[in-house]
Amino acid sequence: MTTSILSRPIHPTGLWAWLTTIDHKRIGILYGVTAFIMFLSGGIEAMYIRLQLAAPEQELVSPEIYSQLFTMHGTTMIFLAIMPMGAAFFNYLIPLQIGARDVAFPRLNAFSYWTFLGGAVMLKSSWFLGGAPNAGWFGYAPITSSAYNPGHGIDFWILSLQILGIASLAAAFNFIVTIINLRAPGMSLMRMPIFTWMTFVTSILLILAFPVITVALIEVMFDRFFGTNFFNVGAGGQPLLWQHLFWVFGHPEVYILILPALGIIAEVIPTFSKKPLFGYPVVVLSGVVIGFMGWMVWSHHMFTVGLGPVANSVFAVTTMAIAVPTGVKIFNYIATMWKGSISLTTSMLYAIGFIFLFVIGGLSGVMHSSAASDAQQQDTYFIVAHLHYVLFGGSIMALGSGIYYWFPKMTGRLMDEKLGKLNFLLVFIGMNVTFFPMHFLGLDGMPRRIYTYDSDMGWNLWNAVSSVGYLILALGVLILIVNIIWSVLSGEKADGDPWDARTLEWSMSSPPPEYNFEHIPIVHGIDPYWEQKREGLSTVPISGGSGDDDSHGIHLPQPSYWPLLASLGLFVSGYGLVYLSSSIGLVVSIIGAAITMVAVYAWSFEPVNDPDEGEGH
C-alpha cells in the first residue's frame, strides 16, 4: 500500500470526479459529448467545402486551405466523431446489456477516453499551429513525404492517429474481455443483445486493423524524421505499399464504423415493433461474416492503381459477395417490423431512415465493386455520394436513432418528440439534398478533392443544390442540439423502461445507479427483460445466495488519477515528437514518455480498493 504515490481520489461530484472517474457510464457520456463536439467541428469544415463549391470559380478559401479542410473533415468524422460516438454507446451500454457492474478494466477504460481526447485535441490544434494536414484522410505516399510536404501538418496527422490508435486498441481489448468474461449467468453468446454482438465483432476488427495502420504510420514517420526510404521513390520506395497497408486497415475500418450502427438498429427496431428480432442467429452470423469478409476486399479501393485484371476480378467478386450478408441483415430488420406493432417515434424514424439510405449506399457500393465500370467512378463525386450514404445515411442516422433511444436511460428524461421529428425530417431531407446530387456530379465527371471548377463544366446546378442541402442539414443538427439541451434541463421525466423495451438495461432506473444492478441478473433468453415482463421469467436471482444482496457489499472500482496522467504523458510526448527536429521537441517528448511510464508504474501498484487511504495522509 505504501507503493501508492497518490492516494485514490474520492471526489463524488465536480470536475475532479469527472477527471478521475472510472465509471463506464460517465466515460460513455464523456465520449459522447466529445464526439458530438468533434462532429460539429467536422461539420464546420464541411461548411467551408460546400461554400467554396456552391458556385464555380470561387475563391473563398485558398487551394492549400481547401486541401486541409477535406483532409481534416474526413479524418475528424471517421476518427473523432463516428468511431468515438460508437465508443460512447459501447461504454454506456455494454455492461448494462450483459448484466455487469462495469467493464473488465475500468481504469484502462478511463485511459482510453483520455488518450482519445489527447489525440483529438492534438489533431485539431494543428489548425492553429502552422496548418492542418493536407494530404487527404488517406494520405497516399509519397505526397506525405517531407519532399512534397515539408510543414508540420502531416506530423500532427501521423502522431495523433497513432495516439488515437492506442486509445482504440485499449478500448477494444477492454470490451472483448468484458463481453467474454462479465456476462450475467445464463447469458450465453447466443443470447447476447445484437448491439453487444456487434461491439464484440467491431472490437476484434479494431484489434486486427489498428496495428496495420500503425505500422504504415510509423514507416511514414521514420521517412520524415529519420530519413528512411519506405516511400522514397528516388531510392526505390514503393508508394503502393502504403496503399495496401492503409486499405488493409481502411476497409475493416468501414465496418468498424457501420457494425455498431447495424447493432443499434437491431435494438431499436424490435423494441418499437414489439417483436423479437427476426432471425437472431442469422443476424449474428451475418455480422460475423461481414467482419470476416471485410478483410478480403481492401483492394477495391485500388481498382485503378494497376494491380492487374486477376487481382481486380478477385476483389470485385469478394466485394460483391459482402453485399449478401449485409442484405440479409436489412431483410431481417424489415421482417422484424412485418406484422409488428410499429410506433413511429423519432428513434424509430431514424432507424427506418437508416434502412432506406443504407440500401442506397449499399447499392452504389455494388456499382463500384464492378472494377471495370469503377474506372469511371473512382475518385469522383460518385464515390463521395456513396460514402456519405453509407457513413451519414448509415452510421450517423443509426447513431441518431441510438441517441433518441437511450437518452432517457442516460439522463432520466425523454427527448422532445415534436422537436425530434422536425430534427429527423430536416436531417433526412438535408442529407438527401446534399449528397444525392453528388451521384450526378460524379457521373458527369467531377473529380473529388478539387477546390474549384470551371463554370462551363455543367456542374453548377448540382453543386448549388448540394450546398443548399447543407443548410437544411445544418438546421436539422441545430434542432438536435436544442432538443438535447432542452431535454436534459426540462424534458419529461422517464421511468426505467419508457419504450417497453426488451433488454436488461431497461430493467433498472433511469439513469442507472452507479453500481448498475443491485443483483447480478439471471438471463433466460434473448430478450430477458421482455420475458420477465410478459412471461414472468424473472431476472432477479432467488435471494439469500450471494453477498451482493446487501447494497453496501457491492464492490465497485475506485476512481484513479493514473489513467489521466498516463494519457497526458502520451499527449505531451506527441507534441514533442512533432517538433523532434528541435532540441526542445526532443526534451518534451522524453518528458512526456517519462510521465506515461511513471503513471503506468504507479497504476500497476495502486491498491485496488482503499477508502481510508485518501483521508489520512
Partner 1 sequence: MWLMGYRIQSKYVVVMAFLFLLVFTGCTPSHHMSTFDTHGPVARSQLVLFYWIFWAAVFVFVTVSIALFYTVLKYRRRSGDPDPPQIHGHTKLEIAWTIIPSIILIVVAVPTVITIFDNANSPEPSALTIEAKGHQWWFEFTYPHPEEPDKKVVTANELHIPVDEVVNVNLESKDVIHSFWIPKIAGKVDMVPNHTNTIWIKADETGEYYGQCAEFCGVAHAKMKFRVIVQTKEQFEAWLKVQALPGLESADPLAVEGRNLFEGDARCWTCHKVEGSKRSRGTTGPNLTHFGSRNHLAAGVIENTQDNLRKWIQDPESIKQGTIMYRDAQVYTDPDKSLTESQVSALVAYLASLD
Q: Are 488 and 413 in contact (CB under 8 A)?
A: yes
CA pair distance 146, 123, nearest whole angstrom:
19
Q: Is 401 one of the binding residues for partner 1 (CB under 8 A)?
A: no
Q: Which of residues 486-525 bind partner 1 (CB under 8 A)?
A: none
CA pair distance 564, 9, nearest whole angstrom:
12
Give 413's strand partners.
Answer: 493
Residues 6 or more apart from 298 whose CB is under 8 A from it?
A: 244, 247, 248, 250, 251, 315
Q: CA nearest 271: which of 197, 196, 347?
A: 347
**Candidate residues 120, 355, 391, 426; the one interacting with partner 1 per rule CB under 8 A:** 355
Q: Closer to partner 1 by CB, 228 or 452: give it.
A: 452
Q: Which of residues 183-222 bind partner 1 (CB under 8 A)?
A: none
Report in angstroms how near the CB of residue 134 gets to partner 1 at its nearest.
8
Report in angstroms how near the CB of residue 137 gets to partner 1 at its nearest.
11
Q: Are 229 and 238 in contact (CB under 8 A)?
A: no
Question: Cell for 404?
Answer: 433518441
Binding segment for partner 1 (CB under 8 A), chosen from 91-99, 311-319, 540-548, 577-585, is 311-319
Q: Are 105 and 177 in contact (CB under 8 A)?
A: yes
**Cα 164 → chain centroid:** 12
Binding segment for partner 1 (CB under 8 A), chosen from 115-123, 200-208, 216-224, 303-311, is 303-311
Q: Give the torsion through C-alpha atoms of 405, 406, 409, 413, to 10 deg.
A: -60
Instruction: Please classify residue 57 by burial: count the beta carbons closer than 10 Å to its beta carbon, then call 0-12 exposed, 13-18 middle and 19+ buried.
Output: exposed
Q: CA nearest 92: which of 17, 165, 32, 34?
A: 32
Binding segment for partner 1 (CB under 8 A), chosen from 13-21, 41-49, 292-300, 355-363, is 355-363
Q: Is 360 one of the binding residues for partner 1 (CB under 8 A)?
A: yes
- The phi-psi region of residue 221 (left if phi > 0; otherwise alpha if psi is between -120 and 50; otherwise beta) is alpha
Report in angstroms how near the CB of residue 221 gets to partner 1 at its nearest.
18
Binding segment for partner 1 (CB under 8 A), chosen from 349-357, 389-397, 567-575, 609-617, is 349-357
**Candidate residues 2, 188, 341, 543; the one interacting with partner 1 per rule CB under 8 A:** 341
Report in angstroms how near the CB of residue 554 gets to partner 1 at its nearest.
34
Site string for partner 1, 374-393 (x = CB under 8 A): xxx-xxx-------------
Q: Which of residues 55-74 bind partner 1 (CB under 8 A)?
A: 62-64, 67
Q: Closer to partner 1 by CB, 376 or 582: give it.
A: 376
**Candidate residues 306, 536, 544, 553; the one interacting with partner 1 per rule CB under 8 A:** 306
Report in angstroms how near the CB of residue 217 gets to partner 1 at its nearest.
18
Q: CA nearest 95: which of 85, 86, 106, 107?
A: 106
Give the containing element (helix H, strand E) for 84. helix 83-98
Q: Which of residues 72-101 bind partner 1 (CB under 8 A)?
A: none
Q: Is 160 one of the binding residues for partner 1 (CB under 8 A)?
A: no
What Rg do the C-alpha atoms of the chain give, in angstroms? 24
Q: Is the dihedral of CA 542, 555, 173, 18 positive or negative?
A: positive
**Candidate residues 185, 309, 513, 611; the one interacting with partner 1 per rule CB under 8 A:** 309
**Candidate residues 125, 370, 515, 537; the one interacting with partner 1 per rule CB under 8 A:** 370
Q: What 8-state DSSP symbol labels residue 542?
A: P
Report in angstroms how near the CB of residue 302 gets to partner 1 at its nearest.
9
Q: Closer to partner 1 by CB, 332 or 560: give it.
A: 332
Q: Is the dihedral of CA 342, 347, 353, 356 positive or negative?
A: negative
Q: Is 373 one of the binding residues for partner 1 (CB under 8 A)?
A: yes
CA pair distance 579, 156, nearest whole angstrom:
10
Give the containing element (helix H, strand E) for 116. helix 106-125
Q: Closer to partner 1 by CB, 379 or 514: give it.
A: 379
DSSP string, 442-502: HHTTPBTT-S---GGGS-HHHHHHHHHHHHHHHHHHHHHHHHHHHHHHHPPB--S-TT---
Q: Closer to partner 1 by CB, 275 or 413: give it.
A: 275
Binding segment for partner 1 (CB under 8 A), chosen from 10-18, 19-27, 253-261, 348-356, is 348-356
Question: Cell for 616?
Answer: 489520512
**Candidate residues 49, 212, 371, 391; the one interacting with partner 1 per rule CB under 8 A:** 371
**Candidate residues 43, 151, 186, 340; the one interacting with partner 1 per rule CB under 8 A:** 340
Residues 6 or more apart from 340 whose CB is under 8 A from it?
A: 273, 274, 275
**Candidate residues 4, 228, 229, 304; the one interacting with partner 1 per rule CB under 8 A:** 304
Q: CA nearest 273: which of 606, 530, 492?
A: 530
Q: What are phi and psi of 139, to 5 degrees?
A: 45, 50
Report in angstroms how near the CB of residue 414 gets to partner 1 at its nearest.
18
Question: Cell for 553?
Answer: 457489499
Residue linked to cell 442541402: 469
Report in angstroms how near the CB of residue 246 gets to partner 1 at its nearest.
12
Q: Which of residues 458-477 bind partner 1 (CB under 8 A)?
A: 458-459, 461-462
Report in angstroms how near the CB of residue 301 gets to partner 1 at its nearest.
12
Site string for partner 1, 112-151 (x = CB under 8 A): ----------------------xxx---x-xx----x---
Report in angstroms how near the CB of residue 276 gets to partner 1 at its nearest.
5
Report in angstroms how near the CB of residue 375 gets to partner 1 at its nearest.
3
Report in angstroms how near the CB of residue 449 gets to partner 1 at its nearest.
4
Count Cβ atoms below 10 Å from residue 322 Cβ, excluding itself.
23
Q: Which of residues 262-301 bind partner 1 (CB under 8 A)?
A: 273-276, 278-282
Q: Under rule CB under 8 A, how many of the chain's residues touch partner 1?
A: 96
CA pair distance 439, 420, nearest whole angstrom:
29
Q: Is 571 one of the binding residues for partner 1 (CB under 8 A)?
A: no
Q: Closer to partner 1 by CB, 121 or 305: give it.
A: 305
**Candidate residues 3, 181, 343, 490; the one interacting with partner 1 per rule CB under 8 A:** 343
Q: Which of residues 421-460 bind partner 1 (CB under 8 A)?
A: 437, 439-441, 443-453, 456-459
